[in-house]
């Protein structure tokens, strides 16, 4: 169901001690923040420990950054849905970095979405065009493929993230998020497919300064944060701003409903 969300994608960053300190600090700092669902997606090797750390307060959820779609078998180096379904609530599927560096294609993304749902995991399905000059319709094609054979009554269990890969920071400072109106155009088309059921996030170079531009748009339910999620104070500030902006909007809607 639609809800305000902020997802941290730590990518292939953090050593064990950094990861534990980061997760503990985020958990403690978010203890009194309400009105936004926060999710940490650490590297797979830290998944169980981070899940133990955050589950104490039950405010932060955990997601995997990827998984294979088979349950078990001779697939060296892979992790399966049944290995993570008791630890994680979410799994990122089809991130543009997986498509670009590991040749992940739409068919595989679809298999992963189906496998995730079968195991009670909510897939965070990433879609987006590769180059700035490409049409955002590319994202729609990816989404339709990703949702093949997914029954409509399961749409409430998926999260969609529009993340145009040209807007992703790629670890560089001073990268720029996509213009909000462009994100909104793509998100409107995504909404036509998933109707009212699924949260739709934007991902790509969101930081403390740009987050409000996205948060104040009711069409955008959340953000997926890469680089800016590796500093606890910055990530928590983003979560607070998201919660404040969304709750403020709800207050206005409620006031108008009560008139
Ligand atoms: P970024 O990553 O915030 O570092 O640009 C976003 C993403 O991976 O979608």
Task: Please report the pLDDT score of residue 235 as a whole number.
Answer: 98
Take residue 195 and report the two structure tokens written for it.
């109707």
pLDDT value of residue 172: 72
The C-alpha atoms of residue 79 and residue 77 are separated, in whole angstroms, by: 7
Residue 11 CA: which ligand 1 atom is closest? 8
Counting from 1 in the atom list of ligand 1, the atom nearest the Cα of 229 is 3
**7, 124 Cβ separation under 8 angstroms:** yes
Which string of b and e fits 17-54 if b means at least 16 CB within 10 Å?
eebbebbeebbebbeebebbbbbbbbbbebbbebbebb
pLDDT of 254 above 60: no
pLDDT value for 102: 96
What pLDDT does 250 receive? 55
Residue 170: pLDDT band (50, 70, 90) is confident
pTM of the prediction?
Answer: 0.94
Looking at the structure of the chain, the number of domains it has is 1
Q: Which domain holds residue 187?
A: 5-257
Question: Hey, which residues does 125 pair with through a beta bridge?
Answer: 93, 160
* Mean pLDDT of the chain, nearest integer: 93
Q: Do the beta carbons of residue 92 and residue 61 sit within 8 Å?
A: no
Q: Are 56 and 75 in contact (CB under 8 A)?
A: no
**Res 248 pLDDT > 70:** yes
Protein residue with least CA distance to atom 1, ligand 1 = 226
Predicted confidence (pLDDT) at residue 258 exceeds the cutoff of 60: no
- Percent pLDDT > 90 in the chain is 87
- Confidence class for position 255, pLDDT limits 50, 70, 90: low
As a whole number of angstroms, the distance between CA 24 and CA 257 comes to 40
For 194-233, the pLDDT digits (tens) are: 988 899 999 999 999 999 999 999 999 999 999 999 999 9
The number of the ligand 1 atom at minimal distance from the alpha carbon of 227 is 4
Residue 163: active-site member = yes
Atom of ligand 1 nearest to the CA of 163: 9
DSSP character string of the chain? ----EEEEE-TT---HHHHHHHHHHHHHHTTT--S-EEEEE--GGGHHHHHHHHHTTT-EEEEES---SSSSSS-TT---HHHHTTT-SEEEES-HHHHHHH---HHHHHHHHHHHHHTTPEEEEEE--SSTTS-THHHHHHHHHHTTT--GGGGGG-EEEE--GGGS-TT-TT--PPPHHHHHHHHHHHHHHHTTTS-EEEESS--TTTHHHHHT-TT--EEEESGGGSSHHHHHHHHHHHHHHHHHHHHHHHHHHH-
pLDDT number for residue 182: 95
Matching residue, tokens 């739409």: 106
Per-residue pLDDT at 251: 54
Give residue 27 CA to ligand 1 midpoint distance, Å: 21
> What is the pLDDT confidence band of residue 259, given thresholds at 50, 70 and 90?
low
Mean pLDDT of 158-164: 97
CATH number at residue 104: 3.20.20.70
The reply to whether ligand 1 has any atom less than 6 angstroms from the CB of 203 is yes
Q: Which of 37, 95, 119, 129 is flagged as catalytic?
A: 95
**How far is residue 202's CA from residue 257's CA, in Å, rounded to a whole number?**
28
- For the CA atoms of 212, 218, 223, 228, the dihedral, rounded to the nearest 10 degrees, stands at 0
138 assigned to active site: no
CA atoms of 80 and 73, how far apart (whole Å): 9
Identify the residue whose C-alpha is closest to ligand 1 atom 2: 226
Contact 177, 210 (CB under 8 A): yes
The residue annotated as part of the active site, out of 37, 97, 108, 163, is 163
Residue 127: pLDDT band (50, 70, 90) is very high
pLDDT for 253 beyond 80: no
Task: Give me the pLDDT at residue 247, please.
Answer: 86
Cβ–ligand 1 contact at 96 (below 6 Å): no
201 lines ligand 1 (CB under 6 A): no
Q: What spacing in Å lies between the alpha carbon of 180 and ligand 1's midpoint?
A: 15
Beta carbons of 64 and 91 less than 8 angstroms apart: yes
Residue 175 has pLDDT above 90, yes or no: no
Burial class, 167, CB count within 10 angstroms (exposed 0-12 / middle 13-18 / buried 19+): buried
Tens digit of each residue's pLDDT (9 = 90 or more) over 20-71? 999 999 999 999 999 999 999 999 999 999 999 998 878 899 999 999 999 9
């Amino acid at each position: 169901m639609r809800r305000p969300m902020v997802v941290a994608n730590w990518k292939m960053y953090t050593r064990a001690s950094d990861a534990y300190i980061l997760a503990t600090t985020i958990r403690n700092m978010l203890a009194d923040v309400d009105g936004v669902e926060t999710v940490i997606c650490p590297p797979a090797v830290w998944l169980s420990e981070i899940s133990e750390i955050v589950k104490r307060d039950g405010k932060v959820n955990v997601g995997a950054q990827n998984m294979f779609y088979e349950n078990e078998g001779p697939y060296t180096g892979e992790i399966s849905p049944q290995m993570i379904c008791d630890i994680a609530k979410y799994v990122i599927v089809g991130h543009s970095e997986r498509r670009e560096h590991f040749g992940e294609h739409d068919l595989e993304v679809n298999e992963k979405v189906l496998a995730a749902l079968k195991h009670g995991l909510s897939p965070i399905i990433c879609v987006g065009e590769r180059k700035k000059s490409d049409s955002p319709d590319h994202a729609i094609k990816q989404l339709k493929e990703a949702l093949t054979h997914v029954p409509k009554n399961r749409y409430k269990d998926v999260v969609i993230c529009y993340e145009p890969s040209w807007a992703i920071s790629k670890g560089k400072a001073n990268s720029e998020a996509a213009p909000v109106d462009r994100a909104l155009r793509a998100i409107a088309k995504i909404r036509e497919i998933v109707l009212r059921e699924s949260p739709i996030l934007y991902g790509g170079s969101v930081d403390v300064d740009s987050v409000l531009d996205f948060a104040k748009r009711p069409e955008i339910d959340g953000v997926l944060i890469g680089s800016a999620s590796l500093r606890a104070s910055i990530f928590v500030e983003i979560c607070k701003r998201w919660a404040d902006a969304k709750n403020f909007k709800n207050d206005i809607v409620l006031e108008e409903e009560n008139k």
